[in-house]
Chains A and B, each alone.
Chain A
Amino acid sequence: MTAILRNESAKLLRGALLLTGLFALLSAFFLAVFPGFAEEAAIIEEAFPPLLVGLLGFEELHTIEGFVGGYLYSIIWVLLTGIYFAYVSAGLIVEDIRTRRMDLTLSNPVSRESVVLQKVAALWVPLVALNVALFAVLFVGVTVIGETLDPVTLAMVHLLSIPYLLVCAGIGLVLSVTLDRVETAQTAALGFVFLLWLVEGVSTLDPDVEWIGALTPRRYFDPSAILVHEEYALGDAGILLGAFLVLLGIATVVFVRRDI
């Protein structure tokens, strides 16, 4: 039974492609300024307030690895893409309930569990589109500006980011089955993921509160560490994957029991 998966995938396609184009442009812009930026990187690193350095997690900004990991991935991938997945997922269920589409969907011999799983599975569309496109743009772009990035390391960034993005999606999904309005769910998801991102960044500034950051997904995905130090934190990815499954489980249980 894949009718819902097919339908949802088609629905996500346009938005995913649009965002992919946008991010590709943004990445190209970031890369274009790198050569000039690298020369003054040391001064810039000095000049940046420590708060901002901590927030974005800069490291070795004058190298292409540090620049891509600390700047480009930290903003485009961890923050913006995370928000996108939370936002899209937050609309998955509640929108269908509000528009009464769910009534018709559930008049078919399909269980509510299956509805949730197929809808979440449809996230493969933006997941694949964004990963493939950004990888390609970066790999080609870096070569064009005369630098080199190890494609394996770059691929690992993308691979290990998937559990992170799924957790963001899980947060949106839980909000989607608990809140009654599309706008509320999506705004809450967007705000919540941004807040988590911010909390982790701020928590690294003070050892006393650093533990708080361990409760946010960003702590378990560090593009800089992967690109600069080639540290592949598989355990952390496992934690994120586990968190996603827990969120998915909660969302399913809530959705199966609730009134529509």
Chain B
Amino acid sequence: MPAIQIADLTKRYGDITANDGVTFDVESGEIFGYLGPNGAGKTTTIRLLLGLINPTSGTANVLGADIRDRRALTATKADVGYLPDDLGFEERLTGRQALEYFARMRGDERRDELLELFNPPLDRRIETYSHGNKRMLGIVQAFMHDPDLVIMDEPTAGLDPLKQDRLYAFLEEEAGTGTTVFFSSHVLSEVQRICDRVGIIREGALVALEDIDVLLTQSGKDVWVHLAEPVDEERFVTPAMIDVEIVDRTARFTYTGEYNALLAHLVQFDIENIEIGDPQLDDIFKHYYGDDDPAEDHGDDGPAGER
């Protein structure tokens, strides 16, 4: 059975639709990336899944519990870990006291093991913590009761690169032992790096749901060529090339057609250097969002946004 089943989940605030008929499943043991710019409705979906807000219509199952069934959902939370984007710890407590507090409610059998990987200064008050330390404390509390499902909202925000790598490795290890990881992000490289599948959300609606490999294949190849002579644009560019940028003897484009056709086309030119690789998810992302900048298009803290 899927760890999360979302069926036509809709949340409206007045005229604003924060989630619009979102439907997808997250399978047990997979790392699922929920991708979208700020204000797209990622946090809304997550808060719906946790029962913090009520759906306007549609529903979802979390480890078999219907989110509209409060009692079942509450019981399920013993097996769910949650890392919110905005970590509301009791700031007057020390890190250790905060962990004790959560441990009393749901256990902490893996606390010590986690603290070896993520080590916030436990004996200091949380009000003195940096973003990174708070995030580490958040990761420890999210995993310390050995949950079956972990829901994380922008988990790497504030973490230094070393700790980010440590988190990626840890998540892969956890998924390997059957833990389901659902996380939202607007950082595309991290999703590309560790996710099995991604869902892309835009203005509250799911616009793509793909295996990460399929997404990369469908999105073509990123091609960079350096010719011996200045590029003759008319002769060089074919309809299968998009996002073409030409500067003197260099051309850069995303190729969406047949590979053989590309190679046959390229041999007509005197090529000095070439690179063909997978596109960055950033580029793929642009295709789903069009050319307009989503941040301008849809304000960072707009009401459709992250609440």
Contact = CB atoms under 8 A, between A and B. Distances in A.
B51 A106 contact: yes
Contact of A3 (B54, B82, B101): B101
B53 A108 contact: no
A260 B53 contact: yes
Contacts of A111: 70-71, 74
B181 interface: no
A104 interface: yes
B86 interface: yes
B264 interface: no
B105 A108 contact: yes
Contacts of A259: 52-54
Nearest to B51: A106
A99 B90 CA distance: 9
Counting chain B CB atoms within 10 Å of each CB, which of A3, A7, A103 scores highest? A103
Interface in B53-73: 53-54, 70-71
Interface residues of B, number: 29
A229 interface: no
Contacts of A104: 82, 84, 87-89, 102, 141
Given A104-B82, A259-B52, A260-B53, A109 B88 contact: no
Contacts, number: 74
A256 B70 contact: yes
A75 interface: no
A1 B76 CA distance: 16
Contacts of B80: 107
Interface residues of A, number: 25
A62 interface: no
Given A106-B50, A111-B74, A260-B52, A100 B105 contact: no
B88 A99 contact: yes
B125 interface: no
A102 B88 contact: yes
B104 interface: yes
Contact of B74 (A3, A11, A100, A109): A109
B267 interface: no
A110 B105 CA distance: 8
Interface of A: 1-4, 6-7, 11, 96, 99-104, 106-112, 256-257, 259-260
Interface of B: 47, 50-54, 70-71, 74-78, 80-82, 84, 86-90, 92, 101-102, 104-106, 141
Given A101-B88, A108-B106, A259-B53, 7 more contacts: A1-B104, A3-B101, A100-B88, A109-B77, A109-B106, A111-B70, A256-B70
